[in-house]
Amino acid sequence: MEKYKFFDLPEFSTVKDILENERKNYVITLFGLCKILYAGRASSIATYSSRLITFKPDGSVLVHSNKKLKPVNWQPSSSEVKVEIGDELNIYVERKRPKEVLEILMPIVYYLSLSKVDEGEFHLFGSESEMVEEVVKNPELISRDFIPLEREYQTPFGKIDLLGVTSTGYLILEFKRAQAGLEAVSQLKRYVDYLSWKGERVRGGIVAPSISKSALKLLKKYGLEYFQLSPKLLPTIRLK
Amino acid sequence: MEKYKFFDLPEFSTVKDILENERKNYVITLFGLCKILYAGRASSIATYSSRLITFKPDGSVLVHSNKKLKPVNWQPSSSEVKVEIGDELNIYVERKRPKEVLEILMPIVYYLSLSKVDEGEFHLFGSESEMVEEVVKNPELISRDFIPLEREYQTPFGKIDLLGVTSTGYLILEFKRAQAGLEAVSQLKRYVDYLSWKGERVRGGIVAPSISKSALKLLKKYGLEYFQLSPKLLPTIRLK
């Protein structure tokens, strides 16, 4: 299997053949004029324009314009691809559950490339999970009397990052590796409400490097707390 | 300006020249062996592997492996790109505020492509905004005595999709075009709490095609309501 191949102005039959037979082996990129119809949770139309379309071996499909990180249209992994040839090349990308269909109509494909892309290894440092780990090892970072009980404590309203106790009752901690916003406060409030409804004495706190003004205001209104803690970044690749 | 160009096994100097001078004109895709260091909100290392890297004219950069919709690494629009040539090709993608750096080290570039990608027009149907529109025109979809007052009503804790009144006081509506989950309920709760704290008599409701079991449970606990309404999809591109 070659590392990569390139087809300049490929015939529709070539594109069909490659999309149907090489899709599991390569990341396939088409550059061409396309109109895109989508129907599923919502529906959308992207009018004829030159866009870059990528098909990955796991079934995910991305349609990119010249702007922004987010694709214009996309289908997640495990989607199926079918190709029909008419006046235009018709590519159907279907996801079964929930049912969603992306229909790509292409009057012309400028180029097609096949790339033997690998997954590679990816290591993330400074994650929320690492922050929880640090607090579990050094509970005095929160308070002298804090005793961690359980990570990922399941409630009907989501998982509590870290549940512990202090001399005044339970303490629920919600971790964010970047600035905590309103959603983090609301999330914590759900867990605190849940244990309160069960009759427990409970406090709640956000653990994050910073918190937005509006989130801090809401936090105080709800009688919740904020603990300032930054995730540890790997020293060797710190910002210059 | 040509529609597209392709360079097979380009020299480092060619890649540097193109990334520095053609980045505003084309979507540039590199396929090659790369190691990627990232430092910013977190830090990460992606070990040497063959990946597909895309640079867009607006400054956004995406690094894709062979799986999933989400890139392995990325930088948002308005990032700057600098290239240095050593034993490897060193590409620095920097975002100033907040400061984030993506460092791409490439011992080999298999191919480079330039594509004149356009933005195109994109129309979304069945959006939340359309659902709000429909309720404003037909308030009886909520209840006989509902009178819509203001869309996008600003509070310190977020924007209320639609604020109205009924015979019993204010009614706050939060719209979701797909199944409403716990976050939608928490969001609505913030707005209801806000108006309550101001001394108003207020009810709150989720308007969505469906709601998850846990969200419905939380909704009831909070004394909030659910109104079933589906977004209207464009008939011509409905699912077959």
Helix/strand number for chain B, H first, E second:
4, 14
* Local confidence band at A233 (pLDDT 50, 70, 90 cut-offs): low
Residue of chain A whose alpha carbon sits nearest to that of B37 = A237
Q: Is A100 helix (H, G, I), strand (E, B) or coil?
A: strand
What pLDDT is recorded for position B231?
A: 86
List pLDDT tens digits, range B129-169: 999 999 999 999 999 999 999 999 999 999 999 999 999 99
Q: How far is A30 from chain B (nearest CA, A)?
A: 10
Q: Which residue has the tokens 């702007």?
A: A67
**Domain coordinates in residue numbering, chain A:** 4-115, 128-237
Distance CA B19, CA B82 (A): 8
| pLDDT for the residue B88 | 97
Q: What is the DSSP letter of B234?
A: P
- Residue A186: which of B46, B50, B189 has the nearest Cβ? B189
Tell if the CB–CB gap between B99 and A239 is shorter than 8 Å. yes
Number of Cβ atoms within 10 Å of the Cβ of B105: 16
Q: What is the SS3 assignment for B92?
A: strand
Measured between beta carbons, which residues in chain B are less than 8 angstroms from residue A8?
6
CB contact (8 A) between residue B50 and residue A3: yes
Choose the closest CB to A56 out of B66, B72, B121.
B66
Instruction: Say which of A27, A50, A54 has its CB closest to residue B117.
Output: A50
A232 confidence band (pLDDT: 50, 70, 90): confident
Which residue on chain B is closest to A62 by alpha carbon? B69
Cβ-Cβ contacts under 8 Å between A and B: the total is 268
Please give the share of chain B, as a percent, with pLDDT higher than 70.
97
For residue range A83-114, list pLDDT tens digits in order: 999 999 999 999 998 889 999 999 999 999 99
C-alpha to C-alpha distance for A63 and A110, rounded to whole angstroms: 15
In chain B, whose CA is at the least distance from the CA of A94?
A: B239
Å between B78 CA and nearest CA of chain A: 10
Residues comprising chain B, all counted: 240
pLDDT for the residue A238: 45
Query: What are the two backbone dihedrals, phi and then psi, of residue A76, each rounded to the nearest 5 degrees?
Result: -75, 175
Residue A123: which residues within 8 A CB-CB, separation 6 or more?
B44, B45, B46, B47
**Across the interface, which of B60, B125, B240 has its CB nearest the CB of A44?**
B125
**Single-letter code of the amino acid located at A59:** G
Looking at the predicted structure, is the pLDDT value of residue B237 above 80? no
Contact A29 B52 (CB under 8 A): yes
Question: How many residues make up chain A in this entry?
Answer: 240
pLDDT of residue A86: 94
Q: Do A57 and B67 touch (CB under 8 A)?
A: yes
Q: What is the pLDDT of residues A134-150, one digit of tens each?
A: 999 999 999 999 999 99
What is the three-class DSSP state of B158?
strand
pLDDT tens profile B36-61: 999 887 789 999 999 999 999 999 99
Nearest CA in chain A to B77: A68
Q: Looking at residues A218-239, what average pLDDT do you find?
A: 81
pLDDT at position A99: 87
CA distances from B176 to A158, A221, B38, B180, B193 (A): 19, 26, 35, 6, 20
**Location of structure tokens 């009614």:** B171
Please provide the average confidence, as pLDDT, over all residues in chain A. 94
Question: Is the per-residue pLDDT at A71 higher than 60?
Answer: yes
Residues B73-126 pLDDT 10s:
999 998 999 999 999 999 999 999 888 999 999 999 999 999 999 999 998 888
Chain B residue with the nearest C-alpha to that of A48: B120
* B234 pLDDT tier (thresholds 50, 70, 90): low
Most B CBs within 10 A among A117, A175, A176, A187, hence the mutation to make, goes to: A117
Annotation: CATH topology of B4-115: Protein Yojf; Chain: A; (2.70.180)
Residue B197, pLDDT score:
97
Q: Please say whether the beta carbons of B170 and B203 come within 8 A.
A: yes
Give the number of C-alpha atoms closer than 13 A to the C-alpha of residue B227, restricted to the C-beta side: 22
Task: Look at residues B8, B11, B20, B28 and name the one whose alpha carbon lies nearest to residue B113.
Answer: B28
Q: Which of B85, B88, B91, B99 is nearest to B28 (CA)?
A: B91
- Report CB contact under 8 Å: B50, A116: yes
> Following DSSP, what letter does each residue of B174-214 receive, concatenated?
EE-SS-B-HHHHHHHHHHHHHHHHTT--EEEEEEES-B-HH
Provide the b/e sequence for A28-41 (b: ≥16 CB within 10 Å): bbbbbbbbbbbbbe
Q: Compute the nearest-CA separation of B139 from chain A (Å).
A: 22
Note whether A156 contacts B217, CB cutoff 8 Å: yes
Enclosing H/E stretch for A203: strand A202-208
Q: What ipTM goes with this model?
A: 0.84
Residue B238 has a pLDDT of 45
pLDDT at residue A178, as a whole number = 87
- Measure B207 CA to nearest chain A CA, in Å: 15
CB B73 within 8 A of CB B63: yes
| Interface-testing mutation among A79, A111, A119, with chain B (most B C-beta atoms within 10 A) | A119
Nearest-Cα distance to chain A for B169, in Å, is 23
Q: What are phi and psi of B164, to 5 degrees?
A: -145, -175
Residue B68: its chain A contacts at CB < 8 A? 56, 58, 60, 77
A42 confidence band (pLDDT: 50, 70, 90):
confident
Angle at A93 between CA A87 and CA A95, to 5 degrees: 155
Q: B128-237: which CATH topology?
A: Trna Endonuclease; Chain: A, domain 1 (3.40.1350)
**What residues have CB less than 8 Å from A130, skipping those under 6 apart?**
A231, A232
Give the C-alpha distances (Å, rounded to integers) separating A223 from A178, A206, B7, B84. Answer: 22, 12, 61, 52
Residue B64 reports pLDDT greater than 70: yes
Q: Please determine, for residue A203, whether its predicted confidence score (pLDDT) is greater than 60.
A: yes
**DSSP letter assigned to residue A46:** E
Tens of pLDDT, residues B75-90: 999 899 999 999 999 9
Q: Report the C-alpha gap between A190 and A194 in whole angstroms.
A: 6
Specify whether the CB–CB gap between B31 and B139 falls below 8 A. Answer: no
